[in-house]
Amino acid sequence: MLTGDRAAAWERRLYLAAHPVAYPLLRGIARRGPAVRVPGVGVVVNDAAAARAVLMDGETFRKDGPGSPAELWTPVLGPSVLLNMEGDAHRALRRRLADLFTPSYAAALCSRVLSAPLERLADRLARGAAVDLVDASRVMAGAVIGEVIGLDARDEAAYRALFERGERIVSMISLRTRRLSPPQVARARAVLDPLGDIAAASYAAGDETTVMGRMRALGLSPDEARGAAGAFFLTGTETVATLLPRLIALLADSGQLGRVAADPGGLLDRAVEEAMRAATPTPVMLRSVHRPAAVAGVAVRPGDRVLIATHNCCRALGPFDLDRPHPPELRRLWFGAGPHFCIGYPLAMAEIRLVARTLLAATPLRITRRAAARDVLIPTYRHLAVRSEGSAP
């Protein structure tokens, strides 16, 4: 099998393991045009330019109506967490949070928090041990998000436990989920409320070297800061933890791992962006229509649900290719666009860069075993073990 074919085959395997019914349907809808009305689903958008136009128009296509993310997250996180807001209130909160994760602050935070876990990872690779990148990525993601919410945790077991708390909530959701049932909301609140208490205590302490202290200094109310912490917890772990193993697998399967390792300063960010396009860590996005409009020629009316098939938009460019430029309409679409572009983007990139550089420094790497995860929201590996071929005997 050619290297490019191997990369595409494994990515397809991950999606089919995660969504054995929904994924073939999603890909089938992609062949029906840039936008198509699907009974029981809504208007599905398969074209990057049309998707970006929807995301940029926050007055027509909103996150706070029927079939939108608000129906899913408001019962769990409360009414004011960016994920479920629009209009003046959203713009005001977004302005106050604009300086929370500057690139320099995000890089410094990740460097400090990940120093010890990355040192242990590098040591294991240097000794020739097989390392499960799924587990390692969960540890890293748990460490960073623990720092964000103010959790006093300093060992890998605590980081894993924190990641697993978020996983218990995300596992309730599928591509077909519109809202959580009352028992599911109760289970989610049982996970989040103790973490919210920790975040609230960090906020009350007012230490501006902490993320929660920075929120207080930026003018967020206690409820807003607590809600933001919950939103960061839910959205800031799975994306990074699932992307890192897939990034290394895509580079290895496409024969590009050594090339990026030889020039991480010039190629790593490009590799990360292309891996995110191919993997699409946010397979779909939802919006609710608030006034009559059209999406790629399909008329929509108030109350309609718009499902942006981000994966279809991204896959239209072709399989993973480190040398393929991204057209403007596709640029970082997996992080959103317009008023809801992911505010945690600098933090995610800082974390991915640090972990990836540690792995690249251990090349040549060989994948020794892997398996796809089943019944998960974001397609990922159940395990992906690598060993450094250049390690000391």
**pLDDT tens digit sequence for 24-38:** 999 999 999 999 999
Task: Count the neighbouring beta carbons within 10 Å of the beta carbon of residue 177.
Answer: 13
Residue 287: domain span: 3-32+41-388
The predicted structure's pLDDT at residue 391: 57
Q: Cα 259 to the chain's mean position, in Å?
A: 26
**First vs last Cα of the chain: how many Å apart?**
31
The predicted structure's pLDDT at residue 4: 58
In whole angstroms, what is the distance from residue 50 CA to residue 329 CA?
A: 9
What are the phi and psi torsion angles at 209 (to 5°)? -80, -10
Phi-psi region of 365 (alpha: psi -120 to 50; beta: other; left: phi over 0): beta
Residue of 286, 209, 235 lying closest to 54 (CA atoms): 286
The predicted structure's pLDDT at residue 3: 58
Q: Which CATH number does the domain housing residue 263 bear?
A: 1.10.630.10
Question: How many domains does the chain contain in total?
Answer: 1
Q: Could you tell me the strand order of the sheet in which 42-45 lies?
A: 35-38, 42-45, 305-308, 285-289, 61-62
What is the length of the chain? 393
In whole angstroms, what is the distance from residue 189 CA to residue 195 CA?
A: 10
Residues 6 or more apart from 117 whose CB is under 8 A from it?
A: 136, 139, 140, 143, 156, 159
DSSP E strand stretches across 53-114? 61-62
Q: Is residue 21 in some structural domain?
A: yes
Q: Is residue 61 in some structural domain?
A: yes
Q: Is the pTM of this model over 0.85?
A: yes
The predicted structure's pLDDT at residue 1: 47
Residues of the chain with pLDDT under 50: 1
In whole angstroms, what is the distance from residue 133 CA to residue 368 CA?
A: 11
Q: Is residue 185 in some structural domain?
A: yes
Contact 104, 349 (CB under 8 A): no
Q: Is residue 393 in some structural domain?
A: no
Q: Is residue 325 in some structural domain?
A: yes
Q: Is residue 149 in some structural domain?
A: yes
Contact 207, 97 (CB under 8 A): no
Q: How many helices (H) and strands (E) does the chain have?
A: 16, 10
